[in-house]
A and B are shown apart, each in its own frame.
Chain A
Amino acid sequence: MELVLAFLCLLSFISLVLSVPGHHHGDNSTHHHDYCVLGAGPAGLQMGYFLSRSQRDYIILERNAGPGSFFQKYPRHRKLISINKIYTGRQNKEFNLRHDWNSLLSDRPDLLFQRVSRDLYPEADTYPLYLSMFESELGLKVKYRTDVGRIRASDLAGNKSYILTDQHGTDYKCRVLLVSTGLWVPEQVDFVGSDLVEGYESVSTDPEEYKDQAVLILGKGNSAFETAQSILGRASRIHLYSPSPVRLAWQTHYVGDLRAVNNELLDTYQLKSLDGLVEGGLEDIAIVRRRREEGKMRTGKKRPATSSDRKEQFYLTLSELLDGHDGNKGANITAENLPGYHDDNFSLRQPYDRVIRCLGFRFNFTIFDGLARLPHSTCARGRLPAVTAWYEGRGTSNLFILGTAAHSRDYRTSAGGFIHGFRYTVRAVHKVLEQRYHNNAWPATRLSTSQLLSWILKRVNEASGPYQMFGVLGDIILLQGAHCEYLEEFPVQALPHFSALSGRRISEHGLLVVVMQYGLNHTNTLGPGRAESEWTKAWKSNFLHPVIYYYPTLPTEKDMRQRPVGWPLPRPNAVHHMVEDFLTEWDQPISHSQPLRRFLEYCLKTDLRAFYAESCFRLSLTNHKPPLFCRQGYLNKEGFVGNSHLWQHAREAGLMPAHQGSVIPADDGLFSEYLPHAGAAVTSTIDFDL
C-alpha cells in the first residue's frame, strides 16, 4: 500500500509539472511528504503523534517558533476554562480522561497535562509548555517558522494532492493534507463605526485602565464575559450586546456556551448592580463618537474645556438613524441621530467610554487557492469550513480538517471544537487514513457474544471518547452470531459509509451503535424531576447516558438526513437507553445490567443469561442447543461452577431446581463435591472387576 501511495504521489507530481510549466521543478526546495499537518497546535500535534506511531512519512508545519502559539496570547486574561481535574478517586486512566480536558492522547501514561499544572483552571502559559513537552518527548517532526501562505491542489483523475508554499518559496508536496490551523482570525462584523471598536485580541487587560468607565462589549460568549469579569471591579457600567441571549453551558451541556467560571456579571446584572445584557442585531447598529459638549446650547460664555469634557464618548445607534451620515465624521452627530431621542427609555441610551468587540474567531480561508478552496459551512455564520462526517473537506479529497476548525460537524452540540473532544476525532480520522491509504482496517476487538454485555458495560463506564464526543463518536458492534467485533469511537454520522471507511463488513446479524447522549432538556436544569431513576423511563434521562441503537442493516444517507429531530442517528429497529446515573456508574444489576442484557437478547434473538455449570449440565443433556452461555462456557469446558453458598441463593430465588446443587457430602478430602473431570478419568466408588 505504501507503494500505491508513493505511486500516486509521483503521478500527482508529474501532473503538477505538466500543469504548471513555469514552476521551478528540480528546485531542491521542494519537499515531498505523504502527510502534511498544517499547524502545531493541539490537533496538529495529536495527529502528529498518531502518524508517528504508525510510522508514516509526515511533517508538521508551524509558522511560529513553538507549538500552540494561540495559547501564548489567548485567552487574554490567561485563565484556561478547560477542566484539569487531577483527583477523581479513580485509577482508571481511560476514565480519568473524562475529567482531564487538556491532555493529548498518547501511550505514555505520564504525558498528561497535570505534569505542568495542578490547577483546576490552569494558567494559559502552561499550555504551550505542555505542547512542547508532548512534542519533544514523543519526538514529533515539526518544522517551525514555516509560514505557509498558499495552498494549491493538483487533481489527477479526481485524486487530489496538495502543494504548500512557505514564506521562502519552498514547496511542500503532500499526498494528504491535514489542516489543523485552528481559528485565530478575529471575527468582525461590518457596521458603521466598527473601526471605533477595540478588539478582544488587542484590548488592554489591565483593569486599572477601565476605572470608572462605561464599557459596551459586543458579544455574549466566554471571551466577552471573561473581559467583563476582569474589569468588573473597576468599570462603572458594563453592557453586553449581541443578537442572541446568553446560553449557559450548565444548561445546554455545550462547553462553548457561557461557563460558570466567567459568569459573575450575571450576578451583578440580576442584582441590579449597573451591569446588563441586551439583545440586538449587530449588522445594523452604528457606533458613533460624540464629544461631551456637543449638542449643548452655546451660552456664549466659553469656558475652557476640561480634559474630561473633551473626552470622546461612544453611542450605540442604528445606521438608519444616521440619515446618510458617515458616523466616522463624528462632527455632526445630533440628538436625532441617537435612539434615545426617539425612545426615551431606550436601554443603551447612555454613552460609553469604550466599545469592545468579543465575537470570537474564524477560520483563515484565504490561503487556499483554486482547487484547494474550502467551502464555508452553513453553521456558525460561515466561520468554519464545511467537512464530511469523517472530517474531509467537502470537495477537497485527501484534505482533512482537524481540531477546532472541524467543529462544524457538532457546532453548539458536542465537544468537537475543543481539545477534550477533538483529540478523539483526530484519532478517528487517523484510523480512516490507515484504512484508506494503507488498507489497515479499523481496529476491532473480537468478543464472544456471551461477553458482549460485560464489554459494553466496561466501555460505558470508562470510555472517554464517546463520553466527551457524545452523540458524535460511538462504538460500533458488528454482530456475527456467536462472536462480534467491537470497534471503538467511530464518527456515527459517517455510518452510511461505514464499510468503506472502516474496511469491515456488516453481517446479516446487523450492528449495534453505542453512543452517549444528553436528554431532551425540557425540564428546568436545577428543578425537580431533572433526573430520571426508573430504568423503564430511561429515554427521558436528561443527563449524559448511554444509548444503544440496533440496526439490522446500515442506515443510508437518506435515513441519516431524515433522522428524528435532535437525534444523532436515524430511528433504529430497537433502541435502549441506559438510565442516567448520578455517579455515572452504569454497573448496577437491576437498573443497568439486566435491562441492557434484555435489549441485547432482543437484538441477538438469544438468551444471554449466565448459568451455573450444574444448570448447564442439565440443559446440555436435555436441549439440542443449550443457552449461549453454556455453549460458549460450559461446553467449551470453561463452565462456571459456583459454590454451595451461591447455589443456595439461586434455589431460594426459585431459579434453580430445589434438588440441584445439594450434593450428598462425601468424605474424600477437601473438595469432595468436585469429581475429577474426564481428563483425569473417573474414580468410581463402584468396583468394576469383571
Chain B
Amino acid sequence: MCGISAVALLLCFISAQCGSPDASRLVEHTAQSFRDAVLSGKTSFIYFGKHVNPAIKAFIEQLEMSAHALEDYGIVVGKVNCSKDSVEKYCTGEEVMKKTYLFRGADVLRSFDIDTVFDVNAIVSHVLFSVLFTEVRYVHTPAELLAVERAAKGKMDIVMGHIQVLGLPEHRALMEAAFVYGAKYQFVQTTGAPLLKHLGVADPTSVQARLWFLHCRGVAHRSEPCPHTLMRKPLTTINIHTFLQLMEAPLLTEAAVDPDEVKVVYNHLNVPLLFLFTQSETLQLDRDTAESVARRLRGEVGVVLIHRDSHRVKTPLKHNAAYRLPQEEVRYFSLKKVEELIDLFREQLFQGTEEEEEEEEEEEEEEQDDRWSSLDVLDDEVAESVYRDRGVMLDTEAVTKLTAETFSAAVTQNGLMVVLFYVKWDAVCVAFLQSYVEVDDALDDVSGIELAYVDCGEWTVVCSDQNITSFPSVLLYRPSEVPQRYRGMLGTGSLHRFLLLSQVPSPTSLSSSAEVLSFLEGDLYNTNSALSPVRVLGLYSPADTDVVVFEEAAKSLRGETLLGLFVHEEAERWAEEHSVTLPALLVSRGPGILREAHSLHSSTPQELISYIQSTTLDPFPELTVENLPWYLELEKPLLLLFVGAEESTETDQSLKEIQKAQSTRQLDSSLPCWIHLGRTPAGRSVLEAYLGFVPPLPALVLSQLATGGEVFHFPPERPLLAGTIVQWLKRIDDGQEQPAGVVSDAVWGPPVPFYDFLAVMDEEAPGYAAQRSPKTKPGGKRGSERGQERNPAGRGETETAFNPQTPPAHTEL
C-alpha cells in the first residue's frame, strides 16, 4: 500500500506537473478562515505580513510554489495579510514581518525566519524536517549513529543523509524521501564531519551531500556492524527513490533466459544490468563471484546470473558476460578478471562520476600502502607508553637489586621482604617497576618492610627456583614462612596499602571484650583505619577446634582485610548480642555503623576465605577501577547511578532514593551501585558506550552485563525516586521498556590484520614454502657434495671417460 502510494507520489514529482500548474494553492486567510484552519487540526504553514517590499514579494512567490509542493504532504500553506485582517499575537510587532509559523492544529510547531526559508526548497525541507522531527534522527557523532544502528539491527534498515547546509534541494530531497519512506526505514540526518570519517570518507570538507544505506535489518548479531552502501548519484528525489528500490531488490538475480529476455526490477529503474553466465559445474564458484561483484556495484548496477544449462540460453560460449545500459542493446563481452568489470562500470560507463571515483581509489591505494607501515606503530597502550618513556632512565637505586648470590640471604632476613620478579621485555613489568619504586619511596619511613627486585632475564635460575611463571610477580617473604604471592592490583596504592596492612598480624588475637570493642570500633590499629575501615572478627568458643580453619583463612587474607579473633568464654555474649550462634563472624564497617553478624558453619579455609570476602563487600558500593572485579563476580545486573564530579544535592538525593529502594529489598535481583565520574573518569566512556551519548547527570542505568547484555536508561524526565525506580525495574522485567543500548558481545579478536609470512613467501619465492611432491626423494637436497660433479676420477659418468689419452683434469677450487 505504502509502496504504491509512494511510487504514485514520486511519479507525481517526476512529472512535476500534477494538477493544474496555474492555480495557486496558497490560501489567503482572513482572520476567520485562519481560526477555522487552525481549529481543523491540520498542519499549516502560514506567513503573516503587512507591507510588501521586493524581498517579501520574492518570498511570496516561493511560498506559492511551496504551497503546491507541500499540498502533497497534507500541509496547507497560507498567508495572512495583517494590514487587512489583524490576527492577534502574529500580526502585531514590526512593520515588515519576517516570520512564518508552522501550526499543527492550534499549536505552533516552529517558527521560521524568512531568511531561513528563503526559497521553495528551503521551505519544503524545513517544514518537513519539523513535521518529521520525531522520525528523522539527527546525529552528530559516530557514537550516536551506533546507538541508532544498535536499535535498528535486525529490525529495519537505515537511510542516512549527510547534508552540508540545511534548506538546499538535497535537504528537500532527503526530507521528501523521509516523508514517504519514513515508516519503512529509519532516517538519519547529519551535518557533521565526524560521521563522514566514520564512514570512511577521507576528506570530509570536500564532500557534498551524500546518502548511505545501512543494511541493518539483516544483521543478526548485535556486535556485527551494519554494512553500508553509498549512493553514488546526486541527492535528488528521483535518485533516492531509485536507490532505495535498488536496495530492496535482491543482491543477485538468477535467470535461465538470454539477457534480452531477462525482466527484473532494474529495467523499470533505468539502471544498467550486468549479466554473468554460469553452468552447473561451476555454479557455486560463479555465484560467489557474482555476489561479490554485485556487492561492490550495489546501487549502481543490477547483476543477473544466467544459467547456461537452460535450453533457452543461446548466448555463444565465447562470451561469459554481457551488460545492458538503459534504453540500449545488450552488449556481450568476455571477461577475465573481476577487476575489469568494476573498471568497466566505474570508469567507462559512468563517466560522470569518474572524478569522485578516482579520488576514492587513490585513497584505497594509500590505505594499502599504509597498511603495513602502520604495523610499526605500537597499538598496545602499555607497550606504547613504556616505549615513549624509553629515553627516561628509572631511578631504581633505592630498591635493592637481588642476584643469585644475594637472594637467599635477603629473603631469610628478619622482617618482611617484598620481591618483584620482572623481565625487561615485558612492558607491564617495566611500567610496574615505576609504581614499585613509588611504593618503596612511600614506605621509606616504615621499618620492617624492605623492597627488592630480581631481573629474571638475567637471574633465570633464581626465578625458576621460585616457580615464577608470570611477569611481573610480587612475592612476600617472611622468615620461616612459605612465600606469599601478592594477589592484588598491580598499582602503587594497592600494593602500598597491602604492605601496610600486612604488618598487622592476621588474625589479631584479642583477649578481652574491651579489646574486641576497641578492635571493632577501629581504635586498635587506628593508623590502619584509613586503609581499611572494614574489620572482621571471628568469635569462637574456647572448645571449638575449627578455630584453626579461621586462622588459616586469616593468614591468606593478610594484607587484604583486618581480621581479629576472639576465642573466649565471653564470645558467647558477643554472639548473643548480635543474635547469632557461635562460631560467628562480626563485620564492622567503621565506628557508629551497624555491625553485621553471621553464624559460621564448618568449612574449609578456602570456603571461609570466600565467605569472609563476600561479607566485606559493600551492599551499595561506589564502583571504582580497583573494586569493580569483586562486584562483577556476583554476576548480577548492575543498577548503576552515574554521578557527576560536582557535588550536588540532586546526586545525594538520588543515592538516598536508591538506598531507600534497596532497603525495601525490591532491588535484590540486581546490584545497586554508583560511579563517580570525577574519581573514575572511565565511567564517562562507559556511559557513552551504553547510551551513545552522555545524558544529564545523575543518570541511572540498568546494565544486564552478565545476563542478556541489554542496557536500560531510566527516563531522565521522570523523577528519580525509590518508587519510580522499582516501577521502572518492573517494567523492564515485563519487557515493557526499550533497551537504550547493549553491552557488546563482540569477540576480542586480533586487532590488526595478520601479516602472513607464508603468503609473502609464496609470492616472492614460489615453491620455497611448498610441501614437496611425494615423488621427489626426501633429504636428497641437503648436504650434497657440490664438488662431485667436477670430480674426474670420482664416480659414474666421468669414470668411463678416463683413459690415458684423456688424463684426469684435476681441478683446483
Interface residues of A (CB under 8 A from B): 90-95, 109, 243-246, 276-281, 283-285, 318, 320-321, 336, 339, 342-343, 346-348, 378-379, 411-413, 445-448, 451, 454-455, 457-458, 461-462, 520, 536, 538-539, 558-559, 561-567, 570-572, 574-577, 587, 589-590, 592-595, 597-599, 601-602, 605-607, 609-615, 617-618, 620-628, 633-643, 645-650, 652-653, 655-657, 659-664, 666, 668-671, 673-688, 690
Contacts and interface: CB of A to CB of B under 8 A. Distances in A.
A646 to B, nearest CB: 4
Given A92-B460, A675-B626, A680-B497, A594 B378 contact: yes
A593 B429 CA distance: 14
A593 B383 contact: yes
A279 B748 contact: no
A91 B403 contact: yes
A627 B679 contact: no
Nearest to A588: B425
A638 B378 CA distance: 24
Given A284-B793, A563-B772, A679-B534, A454 B471 contact: yes
A639 B431 contact: no
A343 B622 contact: no
Contact of B757 (A455, A538, A666): A538
Given A279-B811, A640-B489, 19 more contacts: A245-B813, A589-B386, A590-B376, A617-B625, A617-B628, A622-B689, A623-B743, A624-B743, A635-B629, A637-B630, A639-B629, A640-B382, A642-B382, A652-B388, A675-B679, A676-B533, A678-B626, A681-B590, A690-B663
B652 A447 contact: no
Nearest to A575: B757
Given A279-B790, A562-B771, A91 B404 contact: yes
B457 A462 contact: yes
Contacts of A617: 624-625, 628, 680, 682, 686
B229 interface: no
Contacts of B768: 520, 564
Contacts of A620: 628-629, 632
B793 to A, nearest CB: 5
A565 B781 contact: yes
Contacts of B628: 617, 620-621
A653 to B, nearest CB: 5
Interface in B281-334: none
A607 B750 CA distance: 5
B613 interface: yes
B750 A598 contact: yes
B760 interface: yes
A34 B705 CA distance: 60
B622 A684 contact: yes
Interface string B439-475: 0001000000000000011111100000001110000
A649 B404 contact: no
B221 to A, nearest CB: 12
B629 A595 contact: no
A170 to B, nearest CB: 41
B111 to A, nearest CB: 38
Contacts of A90: 458
Interface of B: 372, 375-376, 378-389, 403-404, 423-429, 431-432, 434-435, 438, 442, 456-461, 469-471, 487-494, 496-497, 530-534, 560-561, 589-590, 613, 616-618, 620-622, 624-632, 638, 645, 647, 651-652, 655-656, 659-660, 663, 678-682, 684-686, 689-690, 703, 705, 709, 743-752, 754-758, 760-761, 767-774, 778-779, 781-783, 785-788, 790-795, 799, 802-805, 807-813
Contacts of B471: 451, 454
A682 B626 CA distance: 11
A634 B632 CA distance: 11
Contacts of B680: 614, 617
The 3 closest A-B pairs by CB, nearest first: A674-B493, A641-B491, A281-B794
B622 A626 contact: no
B791 A281 contact: yes
A657 B613 CA distance: 33
A625 B223 CA distance: 12
A284 B807 CA distance: 14
A347 B533 CA distance: 96
A652 B388 CA distance: 10
Contact of B743 (A321, A622, A688): A622
A668 B756 CA distance: 53
Contact of A458 (B457, B752, B791): B457
B382 A539 contact: no
Nearest to B490: A640
B758 A571 contact: yes
Contacts of B456: 458
Contact of A609 (B380, B469, B532): B380
Residue from A343, A565, A611 with most neighbouring chain B CB atoms (10 Å): A565
Contacts of B785: 243-244
Nearest to A457: B425
A600 to B, nearest CB: 9
A55 B604 CA distance: 37
Nearest to B673: A682
A681 B469 contact: no
A318 B425 contact: no
A275 to B, nearest CB: 12
B432 A245 contact: no
A680 B626 CA distance: 11
Given A280-B793, A445-B469, A622 B811 contact: no
Contacts of A285: 793
Nearest to A592: B425
B791 A243 contact: yes
9 contacts: A281-B793, A281-B795, A594-B380, A597-B380, A624-B744, A638-B490, A648-B385, A674-B492, A676-B627
B425 A587 contact: yes
Contacts of A602: 750, 754
Nearest to B496: A671
B340 to A, nearest CB: 30
A371 B432 CA distance: 62
Contacts of B620: 688
A280 B808 contact: yes
A571 B769 contact: yes
A674 B626 contact: yes
A252 to B, nearest CB: 10
B130 to A, nearest CB: 35
B460 A641 contact: no
A606 B492 contact: no
A189 B810 CA distance: 19
B752 A598 contact: yes
Contact of A618 (B427, B461, B686, B788): B686
Contact of B561 (A576, A652, A680): A680
A496 to B, nearest CB: 14
Nearest to B471: A454
A690 B758 CA distance: 68
A570 B423 contact: no
B807 A342 contact: yes
A606 B749 contact: yes
B424 to A, nearest CB: 7
Given A284-B793, A621-B628, A321 B457 contact: no
B672 to A, nearest CB: 12
Contact of B533 (A378, A462, A664, A680): A680
Contacts of A650: 381-382, 384-385
A300 to B, nearest CB: 31
A655 B423 CA distance: 24
Contacts of B743: 621-624
B490 A594 contact: no
A650 B381 CA distance: 5
B533 A683 contact: yes
